[in-house]
Structure 1
């Protein structure tokens, strides 16, 4: 998509730095989870979810919305969700079908990037439904990790975690349908089928 008025080509911004740090914490989280250091893994995962919200707020308030940020932030979200899901499935915290449901949607959305780029379009603007689905998943994952506790906190986290997970999956796929419709319109307008 063409840059909106006020979008910047700057690379070094506070929101981009937050997204970059979030990317750096992906392997840290994976190592913590592999070592069964669940308390620290939970902290890293919770901070990642909070930082995802923070970088968007700061980008708008500081007028630091950038083209790089429009790519870096969703990429950090997808990578963190993917690594977290695979690590949690590997630990038998979540079922593998959950990983497949999220990965399949992202693969289908990734397939839209090539025809859009071929027609001169950048990534589609983030839709509220997509952001809500991502937030729901980013809340679900630490709760499902916390659900491993054998006490009332674990039970409450299990219920809340799965509630967020189901909402996240539904919103994630709904957003995928909205993005596919938007891409179809753009591609149809430029003569692609």
Structure 2
């Protein structure tokens, strides 16, 4: 919950150009994410709510970072559209799966790698803005991870689309239609 509460704080700091403070908030959020996951696994306290909120918080931080950086013309808006567009695409796949009676697909490793790349890229770009002395290396590294992450994000999205198409074509047995349950 702390991570979710810090998203608007992070976004406001980022929009106002307080990059060092925004990085600090992001570091606190990242540490609490790590700690929460570690403790949940260590003490077998994994909940469905946690499984839903954790990736939601991750997405919100990516969106907030992209929006904050784009609003200051530090990243182009097309990057925002590429990343947000992919998540809208996956939302559509989720609706299709639900309409066929399926829950969300398991997370693919490529999707995790793409998210990691974006999680690494955006703070690196922010780091270069907050501390110009390190911009000579943090900006190119940030952009390399950002572009690679956006590409992998869509590649994973295509894999999810292929898997969605495969899953919805699976034959489903409706218990109400089985011959041994029908009344004469």
> Scaled by the length of structure 2, what TM-score is found?
0.84
RMSD over equivalenced CA pairs, Å: 1.9
TM-superposition CA deviations, 1:53-75 (whole Å, max 9, x none): 44444333332222222211111
In 2, Cα distance between the equivalents of 1:52 and 1:164?
Answer: 21
Structure-2 change in CA distance of 1:158 and 1:44 (3 Å): same
- Given the superposition, is the C-alpha separation of residues 188 and 128 from structure 1 closer, same or farther in structure 2, using an over 3 Å criterion? same
Any stretches of 5+ residues in structure 2 without a counterpart? 173-184
Could you tell me how far apart the structure 1 residues matched to 2:67 and 2:132 are? 25
Give the distance between the partners of 1:53 and 1:171, measured in 2 at CA: 23
* Shift of residue 119, structure 1, vs aligned partner: 2.4
Q: Which residue of 1 aligns with 2:72?
A: 91
- Alpha-carbon distance in 2 for matches of 1:149, 1:83: 17
Equivalent residues of 1:49, 1:138 under 8 A apart: no
Instruction: Render the CA deviation track for 1:106-154: whole Å, top value 9, x for unaligned.
Output: 1110101112112222222222211111111111111111122574411
Q: Which has the larger radius of gyration?
A: 2
After superposing the two structures, state which structure 1 stretch, 153-162 or 113-122, moved more: 113-122
Q: Secondary structure at the match of 1:64?
A: coil
- Cα distance in 2, alignment partners of residues 40 and 48 from structure 1: 12
Query: What residue in structure 2 maps to residue 3 of structure 1?
Result: none
Task: Pick one of 26, 30, 34 that aligns with 2:15.
Answer: 34
TM-score using structure 1 length: 0.80
Q: Distance in 2 between matches of 1:121 and 1:115?
A: 9
CA–CA separation in structure 1 for the residues paired with 2:33 and 2:156: 18
Please tell me whether residue 63 in structure 1 is matched to residue 44 in structure 2: yes
Aligned to 1:189: 170
Counterpart of 2:56 (choices 71, 75, 83) is 75
Residue 119 (structure 1) aligned with residue 104 (structure 2): no
Matched residues in 2 for 1:180 and 1:56: separation? 28
How far apart are residue 190 of structure 1 and its match? Answer: 4.6
The alignment covers a number of residue pairs equal to: 172
The answer for unaligned runs of 5 or more in structure 1 is 1-19
**Cα contact 1:71–1:123 (8 A) shared by 2:** no
